[in-house]
């Protein structure tokens, strides 16, 4: 069995997945807002959801693979729910509040505002993922 990655390795993986998620989020946001004319707040919420789902899939496959490798489908579904409640909620609230402030109040470009919003919730999302969503096994905690 592969050893568990250290905290910093896992944090770097988390951020690499997050970087891809940023690309997904910005692409969906731009397509919805500029391509389809969807309101920037609704487009932001839908873009966050697309990124959350993409990030979860890669965290299961790579970031926390050692904790999910032999997980039953019901366990993965439970983790997806926790991921949505934790990371999804943090991302959605931080993104919508900051987008409303940065775009709605200060007139900042919506894509730049979204990058700043994403960065604001990153560390909180890692802690929630590592300690609550992909909880370490009893052996790892010992």
pLDDT by position in tens, the chain (length 142): 556 788 899 999 999 999 999 999 999 999 999 999 999 999 999 998 999 899 999 999 999 998 887 777 888 899 999 998 888 888 889 889 999 999 999 999 999 998 898 888 888 889 899 988 988 766 555 4
How much of the chain is in helix, strand and coil states, percent to nearest 5? 80, 0, 20
Q: Is residue 113 part of a domain?
A: yes
Check residue 139 and give its pLDDT: 54
> What crossing angle do the helices spanning 89-99 and 110-120 adopt, rounded to 10°?
140
How large is the greatest C-alpha to C-alpha distance in the chain, in angstroms?
52
Domain with 72, as residue range(s), is 7-136
Helices 40-58, 7-30: axis angle to 10 degrees equals 140
The total number of structural domains that make up the chain: 1
| Per-residue CA distances from 92 to 31, 42, 69, 86, 102 (Å) | 18, 11, 28, 10, 15
Residue 54 lies in a domain: yes
Token representation of residue 133: 């969503």
- Does residue 142 form part of some domain? no
118 found inside a domain: yes
User: Quick check: is 1 in a domain?
Assistant: no
43 within some domain: yes
Domain annotation covers residue 63: yes
- Its pTM stands at 0.78
């Amino acid at each position: 069995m592969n050893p568990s990655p250290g905290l910093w390795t896992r944090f770097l993986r988390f951020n690499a997945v997050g970087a891809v998620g940023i690309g997904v989020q910005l692409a969906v946001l731009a397509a919805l807002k500029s391509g389809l004319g969807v309101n920037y707040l609704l487009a932001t919420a839908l873009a966050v959801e697309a990124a959350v789902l993409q990030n979860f899939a890669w965290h299961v496959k790579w970031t926390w693979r050692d904790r999910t490798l032999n997980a039953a489908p019901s366990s993965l579904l439970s983790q997806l729910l926790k991921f949505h409640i934790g990371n999804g909620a943090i991302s959605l609230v931080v993104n919508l509040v900051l987008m409303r402030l940065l775009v709605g109040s200060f007139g900042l470009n919506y894509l730049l505002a979204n990058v700043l919003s994403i960065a604001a919730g990153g560390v909180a999302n890692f802690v929630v993922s590592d300690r609550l969503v992909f909880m370490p096994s009893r052996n790892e905690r010992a």
